[in-house]
Amino acid sequence: MITLINSDTIRKSGHCVSGVREVCALHNIDMRRLVNEGIPVEEVAHIEEAYIQDMIKIAIESELADGGK
């Protein structure tokens, strides 16, 4: 199972869209891909940005809560 950071993750994080957009630009993350398809946690796990690490945590917790679906 691949854990994804996606639009649901952004909503659950409570981060504003402009902040997420800025972080994506700073780290060369394709925001359209993030929103439309999701980005595997493994692709961004090396980034030590608090926004990213928060979204990784939320994505993993959400997957566990959903039973790994």
Sequence-ordered list of residues with C-beta below 8 angstroms from that of 14, at least 6 positions apart, any chain: none
Give the pLDDT of the chain (69 residues) as one tens digit per residue.
Answer: 789 999 999 999 998 889 999 999 999 999 999 999 999 999 999 999 998 999 999 999 998 988 765
Q: What is the gyration radius of the CA atoms in the chain, in angstroms?
A: 11
- What's the pLDDT score for residue 66? 81
- Token code pair at residue 28: 């060369």
Give pTM, 2 decimals.
Answer: 0.85
Q: Which residues of 8-34 are buried (b: 16+ CB within 10 A; e: fewer)?
A: ebbeebebeeeebeebbeeeebebeeb
- What's the pLDDT score for residue 8? 93
- What's the pLDDT score for residue 69? 57
- What's the pLDDT score for residue 68? 62
Nearest Cα to Cα of residue 40 among 22, 63, 23, 19: 63
